[in-house]
Chain A
Amino acid sequence: MLLQKEMIGKHYRDLASAGDEGSKVVYTFVPGNLTELMGSFGVLPVLPEINALQSGMRKLSGDYISEAEKQGHSEDVCTYVKCDIGMLKKGNVGPTGLKLPEPDLLLLSYTGCFTFMKWFELLRQEYDCPVAMLHVPYQADGRIHDHHRDYIVEQLESEVIPKLEQVTGRRFDEERLRQRLALSAEAENDLVWVLESAKNVPSPIDAYFGGVYYIGPIFTAFRGTQAGVEYYQTLRAEIEERLAERRGPTTPEGELEEERYRLVMEGPPNWTSFREFWRMFSEEGAVVVASSYTKVGGLYDRGFRHDPERPLATLADYCMGCYTNLSLPARVDLIADYIREYRADGFMINSVKSCNSFSVGQLLMLRQLEERTGVPGGFIESDLVDPRYFSSANIKNRIESYLQMLEQKRGTAA
Chain B
Amino acid sequence: MNIFVGVDLGSTTTKAVLLDERGTIAGRGITNSRSNYEVASRVAREEALVTARFNLVRNALVADSELAGIADGFVPLLERTFRREQYRDQLRRLRGELHRSGDRGRRSQSPTRLREVLDLIVDEMDERADRHFGALAVRKSDFFRDLAGGDYMALAERFAEPGGVEFETLSGLFDRAILPVENSVSETPMEELVGRALDAAVGASGPRGGAAAGLELAVARVRSTPLEELSSVGTGYGRQRLPFPKEQIRSEILCHGLGAHVMFPATKTVLDIGGQDTKAIQVDENGIVTSFQMNDRCAAGCGRYLGYIADEMNLGVHELGPLAQQATTCVKINSTCTVFAGAELRERLSLGQRREDILAGLHRAIVLRAMSLLARSGGVREEFTFTGGVARNPAAVAALEQLVAENYGERTINISPDSIYTGALGAALFALSASRKAA
Contact = CB atoms under 8 A, between A and B. Distances in A.
Contacts of A397: 237, 251-252, 294
B289 A405 contact: yes
Interface in B115-146: none
A394 B302 CA distance: 14
Interface residues of A, number: 25
B254 interface: yes
A400 B294 contact: no
A394 B289 CA distance: 18
A120 interface: no
Interface string B248-263: 0011111000000000
A367 B282 CA distance: 13
Given A382-B296, A409-B288, 10 more contacts: A367-B378, A377-B291, A379-B293, A395-B296, A402-B292, A404-B251, A404-B254, A405-B251, A405-B254, A412-B288
Contacts of B288: 405, 408-409, 412
Interface centre among A380, A389, A394, A412 (most CB of B within 10 A): A394
Contacts of B296: 380-382, 391, 394-395, 398
Contacts of A408: 254, 288-289
Contacts of B35: none
Interface in A383-406: 389, 391, 393-395, 397-398, 400-402, 404-405
Interface string B305-331: 000000000000000000000000000
Nearest to B430: A408
Interface residues of B, number: 19
Contacts of B378: 367
A363 B253 contact: no
A398 B294 CA distance: 8
B286 A381 contact: no
Interface of B: 237, 250-254, 277, 286, 288-294, 296-297, 376, 378
A382 B297 contact: yes
A370 interface: yes
Nearest to A370: B291
B69 to A, nearest CB: 46
A379 B279 CA distance: 12
Nearest to A408: B288
A379 to B, nearest CB: 6
B301 to A, nearest CB: 15
Given A397-B237, A404-B254, A405-B254, A389 B297 contact: yes
A381 B297 contact: yes
Nearest to B282: A376
A400 B252 CA distance: 10
A353 B237 contact: no
Contact of B254 (A391, A393, A401): A401
Nearest to A352: B297
A240 to B, nearest CB: 34
B291 A401 contact: no
B306 to A, nearest CB: 20
Contacts of A393: 237
Contacts of A404: 250-251, 253-254
B336 to A, nearest CB: 16
A381 B293 CA distance: 11
Contacts of A389: 297
Interface centre among A397, A400, A404, A409 (most CB of B within 10 A): A397
26 contacts: A363-B376, A376-B290, A376-B291, A377-B291, A381-B297, A382-B296, A382-B297, A389-B297, A393-B237, A394-B294, A394-B296, A398-B294, A401-B252, A401-B253, A401-B292, A402-B292, A404-B250, A404-B251, A405-B251, A405-B288, A405-B290, A405-B292, A408-B289, A409-B288, A409-B290, A412-B288
